[in-house]
């Protein structure tokens, strides 16, 4: 592998406590909780897989992967976890070359997944009204090496979608039902709509509005996940279960 250089992304993994943090190698001193104060420039010339010591703790320098990037995101807002974002991308039928409109970028967790699916010839157009979210999400996308596949628009998606003939509209906003008419106008025939909401009341209202707007193949799903512990004395489910995080509402547009 090529030596690490300025501008390269790194996922730091604390080998003792399992903490992860995403950084970009720049010449400036930074402070990260659990990792201490250091200058990432000191990592130039090292290789991915090397171990460095930060605050007297061994830290593995990892190349970014989608899951590792999401786990170590710089956060400003609650993120959609990989267990949900992967299913969202599948319900939205996203693949290389897809044009996807996203409403609500947050910290960019879902955006990273969508961008990874659409590359190398597709595009994610992400709407948000919070410029600070864009700054954080852009940093996270740079760490993932996926920023070139995302266009950011500082606009309330409830006021309309500028694009037309898109493959999918994916929403992570409190009131997705207010965007369904705009989504129907923006989607190509048989395009896909997916929304993510935390409460069943939001899911129901979104479902009913999709039905009212003529969408079909409507579903509401919830995905639960638990890890499995492997130990010398036996293997069993972890006591900590990732239970309810949100509901996924999916539908498809009929032809015009």
User: pLDDT, tens digit, for every residue of 17-66?
Assistant: 988 888 999 999 999 999 999 999 999 999 999 999 999 999 999 998 89
Same domain for 154 and 55? no
Question: pLDDT tens for residues 198-209?
Answer: 999 999 999 999
141: closest CA among 171, 169, 111?
Answer: 111
Give the range of the structural domain holding residue 45, as residue numbers without chain letter. Answer: 9-63
In a domain, 1, yes or no: no
Same domain for 100 and 57? no
Interstrand relation of 57-62 and 99-103 (parallel, antiparallel or unpaired): unpaired
Count the neighbouring beta carbons within 10 Å of the beta carbon of residue 205: 17
Domain count, the chain: 2
Question: pLDDT tens for residues 108-166?
Answer: 999 999 999 999 999 999 999 999 999 999 999 998 989 999 999 999 999 999 999 99
CA 198 from centre of chain: 16
In a domain, 189, yes or no: yes
* Phi-psi group of 41: left, alpha or beta (phi > 0 → left; psi -120 to 50 → alpha; rest → beta): alpha
- Compare 50 and 226 and report the one with higher pLDDT: 50
pTM of structure: 0.88
Same domain for 50 and 81? no
- The pLDDT > 90 percentage for the chain reads 81
Q: What is the per-residue DSSP string for 11-56?
A: EEEETTT--EEEEE--SS-EEETTTEEE-GGGGTT--TT-EEEETT
In a domain, 90, yes or no: yes
In a domain, 204, yes or no: yes
In a domain, 2, yes or no: no
Average pLDDT of every residue of the chain = 94
Query: How many helices (DSSP H) and strands (DSSP E) are in the chain?
Result: 6, 15
In a domain, 15, yes or no: yes
Residue length, the chain? 256
Same domain for 189 and 82? yes
**b/e code 21-56 from CB counts within 10 Å (16+ = b):** bbbebeeeeeebeebeebebeebeebebeeeeebee
In a domain, 57, yes or no: yes
Same domain for 42 and 163? no
In a domain, 126, yes or no: yes
Q: Residue 188: pLDDT above 90?
A: yes
70 falls in which pLDDT band (50, 70, 90)?
confident
């Amino acid at each position: 592998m090529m030596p690490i250089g300025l501008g390269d992304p790194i996922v730091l993994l604390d080998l003792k406590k399992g903490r992860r943090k995403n950084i970009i190698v720049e010449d400036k001193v930074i402070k990260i909780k659990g990792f201490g104060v250091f200058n990432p420039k000191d990592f130039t010339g090292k290789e991915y897989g090397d171990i460095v010591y930060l605050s007297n703790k061994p830290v593995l320098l990892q190349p970014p992967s989608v899951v590792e990037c999401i786990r170590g995101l710089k956060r400003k807002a609650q993120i959609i976890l990989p267990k949900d974002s992967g299913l969202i991308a599948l319900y939205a039928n996203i693949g290389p070359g897809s044009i996807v409109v996203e409403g609500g970028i947050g910290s960019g967790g879902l955006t990273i997944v969508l961008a990874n699916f659409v590359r190398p010839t597709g595009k994610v157009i992400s709407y948000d009204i919070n410029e600070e979210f864009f700054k954080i999400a852009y940093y996270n996308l740079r760490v993932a090496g996926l920023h070139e596949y995302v266009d950011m628009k500082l606009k309330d998606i409830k006021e309309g979608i500028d694009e037309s003939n898109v493959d999918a509209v994916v929403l992570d906003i409190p009131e997705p039902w207010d965007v369904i008419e705009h989504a129907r106008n923006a989607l190509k025939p048989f395009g896909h709509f997916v929304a993510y909401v935390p409460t069943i009341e939001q899911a129901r209202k979104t479902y009913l509005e999709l039905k009212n707007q003529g969408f079909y193949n409507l579903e509401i799903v919830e995905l639960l996940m638990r890890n499995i512990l492997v130990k010398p004395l036996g293997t069993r489910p972890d006591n900590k279960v990732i239970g309810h995080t949100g509901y996924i509402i999916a539908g498809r547009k009929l032809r015009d």
